[in-house]
C-alpha cells in the first residue's frame, strides 16, 4: 500500500481507511460541507452560512422537474466513495439540449451567475459552462455529456443517494475511478490530486466491479494507470 501522505505512517493510514469504511454517508457529507464552508469563509470579513448540497439541489431539483438526465461526479463523487475533502465546486454531468438552455437561464438568472451564450456553446461543443451562486460564490460546473459509449454507460449505472437531507443521482464508484484516471492521463499525468482520490476510493470500497473497471480502462487507454493505482491501494492485481 502506497502512503497517501509523507507525514502519515502506514499503520495510521490503515486506521484512517478503516474509519472511512465505517463512516456513514451522511457523516461524510457533513464533514465535506463543513470543509467547504470553512474554505469559503477564510477571506470573508463576515462568515456566511452555506451548504454546497443545498446549492446543488437548487439545480438538480429543476433538472428532475424538466426530465433532464444528470448525475453528480468529480470531487463530490470521490468524497462519496472515498475521503471527505474540500472542493471549490460541484460537477454536474447533464444531457442538455439547445431547447433547454433559455429556460434554464430564465430559471436561474435571479440567484446565479449564468451565461446563455456559454451554455449554448457548451451544448454545441459538448463541453462545460458554469453557474455561480450569487449569495455564496459556490460554483457548479455544468458538464454536457459527450455521449461516448462510456458516458452512456455512466448514465445507465448512476445510483440514487441522499446527501444533507436531499436526494441526488451520483455516478458509481467504478466510474469515478475511471474518469479521474482519464483526467490524470489527459493532464499529462501532472494532476496528482486525481490519483490520490482514485487510490482512496480503491482502498475504501470493498466490492468494486473489477471486470467493469478492466473493460473500460482498456477502452479509455488507462489500463496501466489502473493497475498502478490498484497496486498503490494494496489490492490484488487485476
Query: Which residue(s) pair with 91 in the sheet?
Result: 73, 141
pLDDT of residue 47: 61
Region for residue 83 given its phi and psi (left: phi exceeds 0; alpha: psi -120 to 50; beta: otherwise): beta
DSSP H helices, the chain, are 10-22, 25-41, 52-65, 74-81, 98-108, 116-125, 149-157, 173-186, 192-204, 210-220, 223-232
How does pLDDT run across 99-147, given as a tens digit for each residue?
Answer: 999 999 999 999 999 999 999 999 999 999 999 999 888 899 999 999 9
pLDDT tens for each residue of 68-89? 999 999 989 999 999 988 888 8
pTM as predicted: 0.90
Which neighbouring-strand residues pair with 90? 140
Does residue 206 surpass a pLDDT of 90? no
Whether the predicted pLDDT of 162 surpasses 90: no
Alpha-carbon gap, residue 200 to 175, rounded angstroms: 14
pLDDT(67) > 90: yes
Find the helix packing angle between 173-186 and 149-157, rounded to 10°. 150
The whole-number pLDDT of residue 37 equals 74
Q: Which three three-digit cell numbers place residue 15?
A: 486506521
The DSSP 8-state label assigned to residue 4 in this structure reads: S
pLDDT in tens, 212-226: 999 999 999 999 999
Give the CA dihedral 81, 29, 25, 180, nearest 10 degrees: -10
**189: confidence class by pLDDT, cuts 50, 70, 90:** confident
Q: What is the per-residue pLDDT for 229? A: 95
Say if residue 46's pLDDT is above 70.
no
SS3 of 167, please? Answer: strand
Q: What is the mean pLDDT of residues 57-68?
A: 96
> Residue 141, class by beta-carbon neighbours within 10 Å (0-12 exposed, 13-18 middle, 19+ buried)?
middle
Confidence of residue 24 (pLDDT cuts 50, 70, 90): confident
Nearest CA among 72, 110, 69, 104 for reference residue 89: 72
**Cβ neighbours of 150 (radius 10 Å):** 15
Amino acid at each position: 500500500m502506497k502512503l497517501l501522505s509523507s507525514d502519515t505512517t502506514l499503520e495510521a493510514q490503515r486506521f484512517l481507511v478503516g474509519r472511512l469504511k465505517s463512516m456513514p454517508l451522511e457523516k461524510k457529507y457533513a464533514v465535506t460541507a463543513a470543509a467547504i464552508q470553512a474554505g469559503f469563509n477564510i477571506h470573508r470579513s463576515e462568515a456566511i452560512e452555506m451548504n454546497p448540497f443545498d446549492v446543488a439541489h437548487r439545480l438538480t431539483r429543476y433538472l428532475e422537474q424538466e426530465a433532464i438526465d444528470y448525475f453528480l461526479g468529480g470531487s463530490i463523487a470521490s468524497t462519496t466513495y472515498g475521503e471527505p475533502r474540500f472542493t471549490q465546486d460541484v460537477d454536474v454531468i447533464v444531457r442538455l439540449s439547445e431547447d433547454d438552455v433559455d429556460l434554464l437561464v430564465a430559471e436561474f438568472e435571479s440567484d446565479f451567475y449564468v451565461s446563455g451564450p456559454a451554455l449554448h456553446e457548451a451544448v454545441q461543443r459538448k463541453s462545460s459552462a458554469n453557474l455561480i451562486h450569487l449569495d455564496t460564490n459556490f460554483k457548479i460546473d455544468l458538464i454536457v455529456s459527450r455521449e461516448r459509449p462510456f458516458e452512456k454507460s455512466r448514465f445507465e449505472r448512476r445510483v440514487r443517494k441522499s446527501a444533507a437531507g436531499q436526494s441526488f443521482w451520483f455516478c458509481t464508484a467504478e466510474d469515478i475511478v475511471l474518469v479521474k484516471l482519464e483526467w490524470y492521463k489527459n493532464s499529462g499525468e501532472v494532476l496528482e490530486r486525481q490519483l490520490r482520490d482514485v487510490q482512496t476510493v480503491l482502498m475504501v470500497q470493498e466490492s468494486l466491479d473489477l471486470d467493469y473497471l478492466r473493460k473500460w480502462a482498456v477502452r479509455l487507454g488507462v489500463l496501466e494507470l489502473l493497475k498502478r493505482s490498484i497496486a498503490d491501494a494494496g489490492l490484488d492485481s487485476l
